[in-house]
Structure 1
């Protein structure tokens, strides 16, 4: 991913969009590397530029120790992100989810979202209205 934003999505049984991955930089769809076909759709959320790497070339690169070790480190970081997101989605309140996001994704209590509040709400598993209400309470309380 060179620029823009791409999301890997599936549709729920009710037709809703389930975002499996959202990226603005780095790799996309690495979980499907060993699969014959992708099990989701890639949708550009904004104009985007991507670099396609042929599977055979990537597989050959994995035979190089330094590249393979870097790839393992990348996958480890991605796994930690997925686990943090699963933990966040298990929290009951909007306030808890927002605080968790700031703690895990921010630096010194500051987060640069790089997305709309509506998209952030979806990432937090909240409605836009619930996030807005949480935000208002927070600001009113002086946080």
Structure 2
């Protein structure tokens, strides 16, 4: 079994600004509400290895992991995968930015499978990711749109 999510939002801001702002990994603690740490540990061209950590959960546990992310500025796409998988057997992500008449469509696709001992199964994690992704995308939309308007 495996999990899959596919979520998108339209951001009313220039494509280059949306791309630049949402791919600035070390600024993710300001852009996302869930991250307490976003630290690049290695860079090779357009590929970044980085550590993310969440804020403590209700039990005080801090979940963290290392991922690798390759950006393609020409196609405005990103491919990423967890290197330290934690509760996941694997986690692969695809981000895509597309200019539309309404603004930039930012799309996140996640494919994963949970380990048998994980606190959630594939269906439970799919639901959690879909819920949280909507929250994070709305925060990003609001922040990036406000910043872009202030720059004009």
Answer 1 or 2: which has greater helix percent: 1
Do the structures match in fold with TM over 0.5? no
TM-score, normalising length: structure 1: 0.32
Larger Rg: 1
Answer 1 or 2: which has greater strand percent: 2
TM-score, normalising length: structure 2: 0.30
